[in-house]
């Protein structure tokens, strides 16, 4: 087992009377991708800010790379690469210039900056865009540049706050490829995301938060096996569902979410056939996934 790179015990934060992070415990191991999932207001962002030293904790232990986290500790900042949710690049500068200025912040020599920038532009598939002004890049290119910028000082860990929100599927898949390659190189990734497919593809382990408390944590496969049945039958109707009674005779656990009805169970192909025999309804049989776990544990649909 890899050594622990982040250790949190009874970590807590409150604002006035409101408890935002409620005495949570978790560990992140070197070289893994560790994900935070939860509805808006669950405490994910506050936990991330405490890890990077932007927000002081109220109580509990928090260590990064074996060192107690103190707010605005420059040593911690030098070990981490930060990919914020919003693109905060300088739009008036070219791609290479954005990386050049960031490299100076870390005191890299001119020769080392040139070497790193060339490597990072190739990594981000932006080698032919070095002289391009940032303001005319596509959204996907900007996100790849923000990730490349976070790697300029070769950090031991990269913090990614919703790295692909708002991107089209093609751009999202390209960033997933880049992040998977980064993890293969031994860099630890800490991720928040609103995309279940992203969490399932990238994360070795996940922590699900709601109202500042941990509901469960484990690998995507472990969470699915623990909390939901193996198969899900999604049923929808052009006219909607007035009640669940019309399908009350179906076996399995029934759940209504929005305009769809979900049947949770095992070996649901016969159930699918029964639904298709009824006029006005369509359905899809699929394996259970992380979104089913999220709905079961939090009662929320995961929204951006």
145 falls within a domain: yes
Question: Residue 302: what pLDDT?
Answer: 47
Structural domains counted in the chain: 2
pLDDT of residue 41: 85
Clarify whether residues 235 and 135 are in a common domain.
no
DSSP the chain: -PPEEEEEEEEEEEETTEEEEEEEEEEEETT-EEEEE--TTSSHHHHHHHHHTSS--SEEEEEETTEE--TT-HHHHHHEEEE-SS----TTSBHHHHHHHHHHHTT--HHHHHHHHHHHHHHTT-GGGTTSBGGGS-HHHHHHHHHHHHTTT--SEEEEESTTTT--HHHHHHHHHHHHHHHHTT-EEEEE-S-HHHHHHH-SEEEEEETTEEEEEE-HHHHHHHHS-SEEEEEEETT--S-SGGGTTSSSEEEEETTEEEEEESS-HHHHHHHHTSTTEEEEEEE--HHHHHHHHHS-----
What's the average pLDDT block by block, 10 residues per block, for the chain (304 residues)?
A: 92 95 96 92 91 93 94 86 89 94 90 95 93 93 93 93 87 90 92 89 95 95 96 84 64 82 92 86 93 86 48
- pLDDT recorded at residue 228: 94
Q: Report the C-alpha gap between 32 and 217 in whole angstroms.
A: 14
Give Cα separations from 279 to 236, 238, 267, 274, 282 (angstroms): 11, 11, 23, 11, 9
Are 140 and 8 in the same domain? yes
Residues 279, 169, single domain; the answer is no
Q: What is the pLDDT of residue 301?
A: 54
Instruction: Judge if 196 and 250 occupy the same domain.
Output: no
Residues 172 and 199 in one domain: yes
Token pair 């939860």 is found at 38
Residue 183 within any structural domain of the chain = yes
Q: Are residues 73 and 191 in the same domain?
A: yes
pTM summary value: 0.87
Distance CA 180, CA 98 (A): 24
Q: Are residues 212 and 125 both part of a single domain?
A: yes
Residues 88 and 83: their CA atoms lie apart, in Å, by: 9
pLDDT of residue 300: 59
> Does residue 302 form part of some domain?
no
CATH of the domain at 39: 3.40.50.300
202 plus 255 within the same structural domain:
no
| Parent domain of 131 | 4-219
Residues 203 and 242 in one domain: no
Let me know whether 79 and 127 are in one domain.
Answer: yes
Domain identity same for 90 and 188: yes
Q: Are residues 115 and 203 in the same domain?
A: yes
């Amino acid at each position: 087992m890899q050594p622990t790179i982040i250790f949190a015990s009874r970590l807590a934060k409150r604002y006035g009377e409101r408890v935002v992070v409620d005495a949570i415990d978790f560990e992140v191991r070197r070289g893994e991708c560790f994900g935070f999932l939860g509805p808006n207001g669950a405490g994910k962002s506050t936990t991330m800010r405490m890890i990077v030293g932007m927000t002081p904790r109220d109580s509990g232990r928090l260590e990064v790379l074996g060192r107690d986290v103190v707010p605005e500790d420059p040593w911690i900042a030098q070990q981490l690469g930060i990919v914020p949710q919003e693109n905060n690049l300088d739009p008036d500068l070219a791609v290479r210039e954005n990386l050049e200025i960031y490299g100076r912040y870390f005191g890299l020599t001119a020769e080392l900056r040139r070497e790193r920038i060339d490597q990072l532009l190739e990594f981000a598939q932006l080698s032919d865009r070095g002289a391009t002004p940032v303001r005319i890049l596509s959204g996907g290119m900007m996100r790849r540049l923000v990730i490349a910028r976070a790697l300029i000082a070769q950090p031991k860990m990269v913090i990614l706050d919703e790295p692909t929100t708002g991107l089209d599927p093609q751009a999202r898949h390209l960033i997933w490829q880049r992040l998977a390659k980064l993890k293969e190189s031994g860099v630890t990734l800490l991720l928040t995301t609103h995309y279940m497919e992203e969490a399932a593809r990238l994360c070795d382990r996940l922590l699900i938060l709601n109202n500042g408390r941990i509901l469960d944590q484990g690998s995507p496969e472990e969470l699915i096996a623990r909390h939901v049945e193996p198969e899900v039958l999604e049923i929808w109707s052009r006219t909607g569902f007035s009640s669940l009674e019309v399908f009350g005779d179906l076996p399995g656990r029934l759940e209504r979410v929005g305009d769809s009805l979900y049947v949770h169970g095992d070996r649901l192909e016969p159930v699918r056939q029964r639904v298709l025999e009824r006029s006005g309804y369509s359905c899809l049989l699929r394996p259970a996934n992380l979104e089913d776990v999220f709905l079961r544990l939090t009662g929320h649909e995961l929204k951006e």
